[in-house]
Every structure is written in C-alpha cells, then in structure tokens.
Amino acid sequence: MHFSRVVIASRFPVVLLGLNCLLEAERDFKVVARCNDGASCFETLRSLAPDIAILDMSMPDILGQATLDVANAGTAPARLVFLATSVEDRDLAVLAAAGAYAVILNDEEPETLLQTLRQVADGQKMLPPPAYEEALSCAQTAMPEKYLAVLTDRERQIMSLVSEGLSNKEIGRRLKVADGTIKVHLHHIFRKLEISNRTILATLVVSQAGAGGTPSG
C-alpha cells in the first residue's frame, strides 16, 4: 500500500507527540522524522526528501526559511502544511508565496486534519486561489516599486541578510554594528513596507528574487 512519508516540526513536544500518534495510527502515513527547531527541520527535509512536511508557524522564522528552501530546491520539495493558531487573509497570501499546500488550525478536529493531509498527498493545494493571486501580485508588482524606491542601501543589505535566516546579532556581526542598531533598521523597514515581521520580509525578498529582482547587498 502506498503511504506518504511525513516530517513534523514544532517547538512543542506535545504537538510532536500528538501528531506522531495520530499519523502512525493511519496506514497511509509514515512519520520519518520529528524536529523541534527550524534548522534541524530543513536539514531533515533536504536529507530525507519526505512527501509532506507539517510545520508549526510558532517556530521562529519558519516561514521565511521555508520560502528559501522551496526557492532553492534542486528537486521537488516536500509539500508544506503549516500549523497555526489563527490565519489572516494577508497571511494566506504569504503562505501561498512560500509554496504552502494547506494551513491547519490548532483547534481542528483530527478527522479534518487527516482529510486535509490526504488531499495534500493527492497533490491538491488547499489555500484559496485569491490568496495565491495576491501573493503573485506582491512578488511581481508591489515589491519592486516599494523596496527599490523607499529603502536605503543599508536597509536593502539588512533585508538580504534577514532572508538568509540570520539573527539580529549575526547581522550585526556581519555589518560590524550593534544588534540594537539592526533592530532599529528593521523597524524602519517594516514601517516603510507596511509589514509586521521578519518572516514576511524574508518571504518578500525571495519572492522578488524569483520574479527577477535582487536586493542590493
């Protein structure tokens, strides 16, 4: 019988254990790895090449790293399914840009979760089409006009480093400035681009690169 190989990633042990028990009780899923941080998760995805990856959005920078991994994948990437406490329309657009197949809320019934995963296993994208179109629009039109026109060279440089998954402290060391200075620069970037966090920022950078543009480094 065919089964889907699954990697689960969450910083909460109870989530990892609960999902593992739920999936292992089904004949058409096999959990091949459980990860508790983003770095080990994406290393595992590259080494094991599972069919589905279930990623908890509460993990720091998980969405930005997922986008990078999908963009740089030399082979067909795992089908990404995100776990979330809540999701806004704008989040759906960002998730679609990251290559997500579905979003599952933490309060979903187990039967609904399994049904969604089976649809993903069949190749169905469960995100609403308007969100995907919005993400494409963001990558192809809004981003070049905004960030090329209103960001300074230093802000674009920091933007690129954020998209590489570096922390404020690591960026500060790279640029030889205090990490508090990086935090101030990020605040200005978020305000100028009308976004709320570094995960969305990393997604926009990768989307822009895929559309043919590159940030100044």
Distance of CA 129 to the CA centre of its chain: 18
The reported pLDDT for the residue numbered 16 is 95
The reported pLDDT for the residue numbered 136 is 46
Mean pLDDT, consecutive 10-residue stretches, the chain (217 aa), reads: 89 94 95 91 89 90 69 67 76 70 86 92 74 46 55 87 86 89 85 75 70 53
Helices (H), the chain: 13-24, 38-48, 62-72, 89-97, 110-121, 129-137, 143-150, 153-163, 168-175, 179-193, 198-210
pTM of this prediction exceeds 0.85 = no
The reported pLDDT for the residue numbered 92 is 67
The reported pLDDT for the residue numbered 24 is 94
The reported pLDDT for the residue numbered 73 is 58
Q: How far is CA 182 from CA 102, 106, 176, 178, 197, in A?
A: 33, 33, 10, 7, 14
Contact 87, 62 (CB under 8 A): no
Instruction: Please enumerate in sequence order all residues whose Cβ is within 8 A of that of 107, keeping only pairs 6 or more positions apart, or say none.
Output: none
Q: For the chain, list the domains and their CATH numbers.
A: 4-127 (3.40.50.2300), 132-210 (1.10.10.10)
**Residue 173 one-letter amino acid:** R
DSSP 8-state assignment for residue 140: I
The reported pLDDT for the residue numbered 142 is 47
The reported pLDDT for the residue numbered 76 is 54
CA-CA-CA-CA dihedral for 166, 64, 62, 54, to nearest 10: -150
Exposure of 212 by Cβ count < 10 A (0-12 exposed, 13-18 middle, 19+ buried)? exposed
